[in-house]
Chain A
């Protein structure tokens, strides 16, 4: 588990160094994700340790969002002042996003078998 955590942290560290060094707008952990994905494709997949640790971490993803989410207590006024903009913005955009991706993908893969 320690080795797998070290790999994940190394990817995040490398991504963060690149992001800070180049001022890319992509978050460091996302660059780390891309690097790890390229590495996995090149080497033919994760070992048992990396796979188990990653799955373990992702199983508790819901817990990891909690501390940031509780930050809502510092934004209550902001939410109250803009509730209509937030509700309409999120509601309409989520429906539009679903429709665009769903309809396009449905058109493009119709009749094609899966891998």
Chain B
């Protein structure tokens, strides 16, 4: 980038690299652009504003030779809100509390089993194929919603930014295959479909369930929060039992 710029502009560019303004503005503008693209694409399965934003911003950083640290100086103001947003998940979970209470045992048993199988098989497969420890750990929480997944990865010695990518990949894959897989297994109950989608592929698959059926969407929503809690409790134990 600097070779293309005349001297005065180069100084402005260097100055902006040390300030939060550019990273923050770029994040919000690219987000709005991605939303426009997503609207044009009529929310097709491949089009997701978060994924689009990440691809565009990553391409901009690489093309301009900007370091991630320089970008994050500004983006941190958006990133910080993940914490309060995680706490805020309690509000939709409370809205689903009657349904949780009524099916408490069924929900806890099937959600925990699916959560353990998903995290365990992901880590075992990656380990067997020779992936390094930090990557294996970062795969563990990939079915959990991003803010919680990144916190879990951080605590266990994984790489939160890798986890963010894995969560996104899981969400996209889960969204594309969930209805087909569940139908093939003759899972017809909407509550079961929603819970499975939310447990295996968090908010992205839940958004798809919400379009198909309201009950499925509600159970997906509660699965996102519950799986966050279950995985934070279970994954540390699994990591030490499996010996990673």
Contact = CB atoms under 8 A, between A and B. Distances in A.
Contact of B177 (A53, A73, A95, A106): A95
Contact of B89 (A58, A70, A71, A85): A58
A68 B106 CA distance: 34
A100 B139 CA distance: 19
Contact of B189 (A12, A88, A105): A105
Interface string B181-194: 11001111101110
Contact of B113 (A63, A64, A101): A101
Contacts of A103: 185, 187, 192
A64 B68 contact: no
B41 interface: no
A106 B192 contact: yes
Interface in B107-142: 107, 109-111, 113-115, 117-123, 125-126, 129-132, 135, 139, 142
B88 A78 contact: no
Is chain A's binding surface mostly helix, strand, loop or mixed? Answer: helix
Interface size class of B (residues with CB under 8 A): 35 or more
A2 interface: no
Contacts of B123: 89
Nearest to B89: A33
Contacts of A50: 91
Contacts of A54: 88, 90-92
| Minimum-distance CB pairs A-B, first 5 | A27-B151, A71-B161, A97-B118, A101-B114, A102-B196
Interface of B: 27-28, 30-31, 48-51, 53-54, 57-58, 61-62, 68, 71-72, 75-76, 78-79, 81-94, 97-99, 101-103, 105-107, 109-111, 113-115, 117-123, 125-126, 129-132, 135, 139, 142-143, 146-148, 150-152, 154-156, 159-162, 164-170, 173-174, 177-178, 181-182, 185-189, 191-193, 195-197, 199-201, 203, 215, 223, 225, 228-229, 232-233, 235-236
14 contacts: A54-B92, A58-B92, A66-B31, A71-B160, A72-B161, A79-B165, A82-B126, A90-B173, A92-B122, A94-B177, A101-B200, A104-B106, A106-B188, A114-B215
Given A27-B148, A28-B83, A51-B91, 10 more contacts: A5-B84, A26-B229, A36-B87, A57-B84, A63-B28, A64-B78, A72-B54, A84-B129, A101-B223, A114-B99
